[in-house]
Chain A
Amino acid sequence: MARPSPSRITRLATYAALVAVAFAYMFPLLWMLSVSFKQPAEIMETPPRLLPRALTPSLSLDPSSFPASLTQPETLAAYRAVFRSESFDFPLYARNTLIIALLSLIGMVLSSAIAAYGFARIRFPGRNVLFAICLATMMIPFPVIMVPTYILFKWLGWIGTFKPLWIPAWFGSAFNIFLLRQFFMGVPRELEESAAIDGCSRWNCFWRIMLPLAKPALAVVALFHCLAVWNDLVGPLIFLSHQEQFTLALGLQFLQSRSGDTPWNQLMAASTLIVLPIILLFVIAQRTFIRGIATTGIKG
Chain B
Amino acid sequence: MMIRSSTILLAATLVLPAIGLLTFGPRGRATVPTDRVIVRYWEKWAGIEAVPVRRIVDDFNDTVGARHGIWVEYNSISDVDKRTLLATAGGDPPDIAGLFDHIVAQLADQNALLPLDSLAAEFDIRSDAFKPVWWQTGVFNDRLYALPSSPFTIALYYNRRLFREAGLDPDSPPRTIAELTDAIRRLTRYDEHGAITQAGFTVSPSMLGWWPWAWPFFFDARPWDGRRFLVESPQIIDALNWVRDWRSTVGLNPMLAFEGSFQTIEGAQNPFLGERLAMVFQGPWMTNWIQTYAPHLDYGVAPFPSSDAARHHTFASADVFVIPRGARRPREAMRFLQYMMQQDVLESLCKAHCKVSPFRRPQDDFFRDHPNPHIRTFDALAESPDAFSVPKSACWAQAKDITQVMLESVNRGIATPQQAAAIAQRKLDAAVDDYRVARARREGGR
Q: Do chains A and B touch in the complex (CB under 8 A)?
A: yes
**Which A residues fall within an 8 A CB radius of B?**
40-41, 43-44, 46, 85-89, 91-92, 94-96, 98-99, 102, 146-147, 150-151, 154, 159, 237-238, 241-245, 250, 253-255, 257-264, 277, 280-281, 283-284
The 7 closest A-B pairs by CB, nearest first: A244-B28, A87-B47, A260-B267, A260-B266, A95-B25, A154-B90, A254-B46
Q: Please report the C-alpha to C-alpha distance between residue A244 and residue B77 in the assembled complex, in whole angstroms.
A: 11
A154-B92, A242-B30, A244-B27 are known contacts; what are 9 more A-B pairs with Cβ within 8 Å? A86-B47, A87-B48, A146-B86, A147-B86, A154-B87, A242-B75, A258-B44, A261-B47, A262-B47
With contacts A92-B26, A98-B22, A254-B76 known, is A263 near B292, CB below 8 A? Answer: yes
With contacts A151-B89, A280-B13 known, is A91 near B26, CB below 8 A? Answer: yes
Cβ of A259: which chain B residues have Cβ within 8 Å of it?
49, 266, 285, 288, 353
Picked from A44, A237, A245, A255, the residue with its CB within 8 Å of the CB of B47 is: A255
Report the minimal beta-carbon distance from B53 to chain A, rounded to whole angstroms. 11
Cβ of A264: which chain B residues have Cβ within 8 Å of it?
267-268
Q: Is the interface of A mostly helix, strand, loop or mixed?
A: helix
Does B1 make an interface contact (CB < 8 A)?
A: no
Cβ of A96: which chain B residues have Cβ within 8 Å of it?
28
Cβ of B273: which chain A residues have Cβ within 8 Å of it?
44
Pair B46/A87 contact, Cβ less than 8 Å: yes
Instruction: Please encode chain B, from 230 to 250, with 1 for each CB lying within 8 Å of some chain A CB and 0 for all others.
Output: 000000000000000000000
5 CB contacts below 8 A, A to B, read A91-B21, A147-B89, A254-B76, A261-B49, A264-B267
Which A residue's beta carbon lies closest to that of B48? A261
Pair A154/B91 contact, Cβ less than 8 Å: yes
Which A residue's beta carbon lies closest to that of B152? A259
Q: Which of B1-49 contact A (CB under 8 A)?
A: 7, 10-11, 13-14, 18, 21-22, 25-30, 42, 44-49
Pair A86/B51 contact, Cβ less than 8 Å: yes
Picked from B13, B22, B42, B47, the residue with its CB within 8 Å of the CB of A88 is: B47
Cβ of B91: which chain A residues have Cβ within 8 Å of it?
154
Report the minimal beta-carbon distance from A198 to chain B, rounded to whole angstroms. 36
Cβ of B10: which chain A residues have Cβ within 8 Å of it?
280, 283-284
Cβ of B50: which chain A residues have Cβ within 8 Å of it?
86-87
Instruction: Please encode chain B, from 269 to 289, with 1 for each CB lying within 8 Å of some chain A CB and 0 for all others.
Output: 000011010000000010011
Report the minimal beta-carbon distance from A232 to chain B, rounded to whole angstroms. 13
Cβ of B27: which chain A residues have Cβ within 8 Å of it?
92, 95, 244
Q: Please report the C-alpha to C-alpha distance between residue A95 and residue B76 in the assembled complex, in whole angstroms.
A: 19
Q: Which of A92, A102, A260 gathers the greatest number of chain B CB atoms within 10 Å? A: A260
Q: Please report the C-alpha to C-alpha distance between residue A281 and residue B50 in the assembled complex, in whole angstroms.
A: 34
Pair A254/B42 contact, Cβ less than 8 Å: no
Picked from A95, A237, A244, A257, the residue with its CB within 8 Å of the CB of B79 is: A237
With contacts A40-B292, A98-B21, A154-B90 known, is A257 near B48, CB below 8 A? Answer: yes
Q: Please report the C-alpha to C-alpha distance between residue A89 and residue B295 in the assembled complex, in whole angstroms.
A: 28
Which B residue's beta carbon lies closest to that of A245? B28
Which A residue's beta carbon lies closest to that of B54? A86
Pair B30/A254 contact, Cβ less than 8 Å: no
Q: Please report the C-alpha to C-alpha distance between residue A284 and residue B83 in the assembled complex, in whole angstroms.
A: 38
Pair B90/A241 contact, Cβ less than 8 Å: no
Pair A242/B47 contact, Cβ less than 8 Å: no
Does B168 make an interface contact (CB < 8 A)?
A: no
Pair B28/A253 contact, Cβ less than 8 Å: no
With contacts A44-B293, A150-B86, A241-B77 known, is A254 near B26, CB below 8 A? Answer: no
Which B residue's beta carbon lies closest to that of A262? B47
Pair A44/B268 contact, Cβ less than 8 Å: yes
Q: Please report the C-alpha to C-alpha distance between residue A150 and residue B273 in the assembled complex, in whole angstroms.
A: 42
Cβ of B276: which chain A residues have Cβ within 8 Å of it?
46
Report the minimal beta-carbon distance from B70 to chain A, rounded to whole angstroms. 19
Does B423 make an interface contact (CB < 8 A)?
A: no
Does B63 make an interface contact (CB < 8 A)?
A: no
Pair B25/A91 contact, Cβ less than 8 Å: yes
Cβ of B49: which chain A residues have Cβ within 8 Å of it?
257-259, 261
Cβ of B89: which chain A residues have Cβ within 8 Å of it?
147, 150-151
Q: Which of B88-143 contact A (CB under 8 A)?
A: 89-92
Q: Please report the C-alpha to C-alpha distance between residue A281 and residue B292 in the assembled complex, in whole angstroms.
A: 36
Q: Please report the C-alpha to C-alpha distance between residue A40 and residue B295 in the assembled complex, in whole angstroms.
A: 10
Does B419 make an interface contact (CB < 8 A)?
A: no
Pair A41/B48 contact, Cβ less than 8 Å: no
Q: Please report the C-alpha to C-alpha distance between residue A254 and residue B86 in the assembled complex, in whole angstroms.
A: 19
Pair A281/B14 contact, Cβ less than 8 Å: yes
Cβ of B7: which chain A residues have Cβ within 8 Å of it?
284
Q: Please report the C-alpha to C-alpha distance between residue A258 and residue B266 in the assembled complex, in whole angstroms.
A: 9
Cβ of B92: which chain A residues have Cβ within 8 Å of it?
154, 159
Report the minimal beta-carbon distance from A52 to chain B, rounded to whole angstroms. 14
Does B338 make an interface contact (CB < 8 A)?
A: no
Cβ of B29: which chain A residues have Cβ within 8 Å of it?
244
Cβ of A146: which chain B residues have Cβ within 8 Å of it?
86
Q: Please report the C-alpha to C-alpha distance between residue A243 and residue B268 in the assembled complex, in whole angstroms.
A: 26
Cβ of B256: which chain A residues have Cβ within 8 Å of it?
none
Cβ of B18: which chain A residues have Cβ within 8 Å of it?
98
Pair B26/A44 contact, Cβ less than 8 Å: no
With contacts A40-B292, A263-B292 known, is A257 near B46, CB below 8 A? Answer: yes
Report the minimal beta-carbon distance from B276 to chain A, rounded to whole angstroms. 8
Cβ of B289: which chain A residues have Cβ within 8 Å of it?
260-261
Report the minimal beta-carbon distance from A80 to chain B, rounded to whole angstroms. 15
With contacts A150-B90, A243-B76, A284-B10 known, is A46 near B47, CB below 8 A? Answer: no
Q: Please report the C-alpha to C-alpha distance between residue A94 and residue B21 in the assembled complex, in whole angstroms.
A: 8
Does B294 make an interface contact (CB < 8 A)?
A: yes
Which A residue's beta carbon lies closest to that of B19? A98
